[in-house]
Amino acid sequence: MNAQQPIRLAVVGGRRGGSFRLALQSLAERLTLTTICDLSEEVLAQWRADHPGIQTYSRYEDLLDDAAVDAVLLATPMYLHAGQAVQALRAGKHVLSEVIAATTLDECWELVETVEQTGRTYMLAENYCYMRPNRMVLNMAQQGVFGEITFAEGGYIHDCRYLIFNADGSTTWRGEMRRIFNGNGYPTHSLGPVAQWLGINRGDRLVSTATWVSKACAAQLYARDHLGPDHPATEDRYWQLGDSATTLIQTAKGALIVLRMDSNSARPHNMTHYTLQGTQAAYLSARHHKEDPLIWIDGRSPGASPGDAEWESLWNYSDEYEHPDWREWRAVAQKAGHGGGDFFVLRDFVQAIETGSPPPIDVYDAVTWSVIMPLSAQSVAQGGAPVAVPDFRRGNRSL
């Protein structure tokens, strides 16, 4: 490919793909959306109406045969991601995969091996890593502000019950997952930023994990209220997935991570929760949209621990610790989706292809974070027993 020409991108799964539009506009000189692939003729027709001249495919294999496509953005239901990524890599395409990367242990290994064999660029589009406070905390952690980090929490708590039924009362793929899976089914929004703060796969690694899940109540109530008392989804036995999952993870260096995942419980819209604890500082993400995230830094913030230590706004330190990404790109990123994340994942993907260097969220990160899903089911099935986390880098910390 001529380095001067923009990378020709195909979006696979046109619904979520649509929310990348603003980010794509900002990168137009380096990345062009040329092609859409979706099973739904309705989705394809909408793209053709909005982007006259765009190439559309309903068969994924036909898209892979198209030599005019350099890279694919996979935004299909998540159980398809790993298989479609492997197919695309083997067809010579670069891959940006929506979360999560894979849903079984075997898929995780196949993905790693395929990226290693093909040498194509593979990146996980974990946009929560790029949100402004998460990026700033990363910068502070990397500069040693937290001292020795001992503990972190990540939470993704988002009432998504409105996405589990089709209009006719049948279950969508998200609903089907709730029927057949019990564990932490969506771990990367919570684990991704935390893993970066802790230097996972870059000096430390995840070694052991266990998951416990509460009873399932919320989906039945939702079915009763929206589909009527006679729908089978109102019965407890219809659902495997409990409402709230808590995952514990131990790292090789002895840090402890707690993840919470809940996509069922009724509550106001406030999806994320993060904390970070080190020997020198502590971080607490905003509890409400309009609040500031909080930090306490020993010797700099007001008071001393434990007596009169006081939280202060993280933004008090933005002159000093704003991440370079946000210093440079704030105006552009703020217009893109998911707190700027949708812009930065595309930018870093393009940069990795252009330079041939590993992307910042590479296949090892993608599978290390995603494997928590199948391992959580294994742990739950064993009464919450700890399960070993594979070392996908096979001991090579410097890859």
Tell me which residues touch ligand NAD (CB under 6 A). 12-16, 37-40, 43, 60, 75-78, 80, 98-99, 127, 338
Tokens read off for 238: 């219809």
Closer to ligand NAD by Cβ: residue 199 or 340: 340
Closer to ligand NAD by Cβ: residue 12 or 112: 12
Within 8 A by CB and 6+ apart from 311, the residues are 284, 294, 295, 296, 301
- Tokens 């009724």: give the residue: 266
Closer to ligand NAD by Cβ: residue 12 or 297: 12
Closer to ligand NAD by Cβ: residue 301 or 368: 368
Closer to ligand NAD by Cβ: residue 140 or 259: 259
Residue 234 dihedral angles phi and psi, to the nearest 5°: -80, -10
**387 DSSP β-pair partners:** 209
CB of 210 to ligand NAD, least distance (A): 24
Within 8 A by CB and 6+ apart from 144, the residues are 280
Q: Which helix (H) or strand (E) holds 175?
A: helix 173-180
- Residue 336 corresponds to which amino acid? A
Residue burial 157-182, b: 16+ Cβ < 10 Å; e: rest = bbbebeebbeeeeebeebbebbeebb
CB of 255 to ligand NAD, least distance (A): 25
Tokens read off for 284: 């607490």
Closer to ligand NAD by Cβ: residue 247 or 263: 263
Tokens read off for 218: 């919320």
CB of 40 to ligand NAD, least distance (A): 4
CB of 345 to ligand NAD, least distance (A): 8
Residue 338 CA: distances (Å) to CA of 125, 233, 294: 11, 31, 20
CB of 43 to ligand NAD, least distance (A): 5
Within 8 A by CB and 6+ apart from 70, the residues are 1, 7, 8, 9, 93, 94, 353
CB of 194 to ligand NAD, least distance (A): 16
**8 DSSP β-pair partners:** 32
- Residue 193 corresponds to which amino acid? P
Q: Is the dihedral of CA 202, 204, 209, 214 positive or negative?
A: negative
Within 8 A by CB and 6+ apart from 104, the residues are 82, 374
CB of 343 to ligand NAD, least distance (A): 13
Closer to ligand NAD by Cβ: residue 72 or 387: 72
Closer to ligand NAD by Cβ: residue 325 or 342: 342
CB of 200 to ligand NAD, least distance (A): 19
CB of 75 to ligand NAD, least distance (A): 5
Closer to ligand NAD by Cβ: residue 171 or 379: 171
CB of 335 to ligand NAD, least distance (A): 16
Closer to ligand NAD by Cβ: residue 16 or 202: 16
Within 8 A by CB and 6+ apart from 130, the residues are 325, 333, 339, 340, 341, 343, 344, 345
